[in-house]
Amino acid sequence: MTVRPLRYLGDPVLRTRCEPVTRFDDSLARLVGDLLETVRQPGRAGLAANQIGSTLAVFSYNVDEDFGYLINPEIVELSSGIEEELEGCLSVPGVTAIRARAARAVAVGVDLRQDPVTVAGAGELARCLQHETGHLSGELFIDKLEAEERRRVMRQVRGQWPLTVPD
């Protein structure tokens, strides 16, 4: 397992819709291992495959006591309650914004053995599941901010361009 370098805003792979996994082989196992190792780094809650350059539909998560991955994830349930909380993204370093998300989410997918997996959570885990699933659709968290918040964030991003990435 390897800690892989991150891709940042401006990299086209982040805007690419990830492809469903159809081959469950050693290459996929290495990708999952790398996602798990990379998300274990301090300050990381979730990581989608396209954030490390792969266009396969896989993400890892590491929120409190919940640690794992989903292959071909899909959100199947969102609560009607909305939480507006501060959110950030490893691929948009140094930028945080208030983002509305469902307070509870349920995601389904499979593991490396192709066995069904369900991950349900509230609060930060719910936010993570929604955030990472969005990445796999080519979405960044800044795309669906409220208008005023989006303008503020885009001014901040433009002020950092070209994006300087942390070491």
- Tell me the per-residue pLDDT of 35-64, one tens digit each, with 9 for 90 and over: 999 999 999 999 999 999 999 999 999 999
The span from the CA of 108 to the CA of 34, in Å, is 21
List CB contacts of 104: < 8 A, sequence separation 6 or more. 77, 78, 79, 81, 120, 121, 122, 126
**pLDDT recorded at residue 14:** 97
**pLDDT recorded at residue 94:** 87
Active site residue 132: yes
What is the Cα Rg of the chain in Å? 15
Cα 16 vs. chain centroid, distance in angstroms?
13
The span from the CA of 31 to the CA of 59, in Å, is 10
**What superfamily does domain 12-160 belong to in CATH?**
Peptide deformylase (3.90.45.10)
**pLDDT recorded at residue 32:** 98
The span from the CA of 38 to the CA of 67, in Å, is 12
Out of 132, 139, 146, 148, the active site residue is 132
**pLDDT recorded at residue 161:** 62
E strand or H helix at 55: none
Contact status, residue 32 vs residue 57, Cβ threshold 8 Å: no
pLDDT < 70: residue spans in the chain: 160-167
**pLDDT recorded at residue 156:** 82
Greatest pairwise CA separation for the chain in angstroms? 46
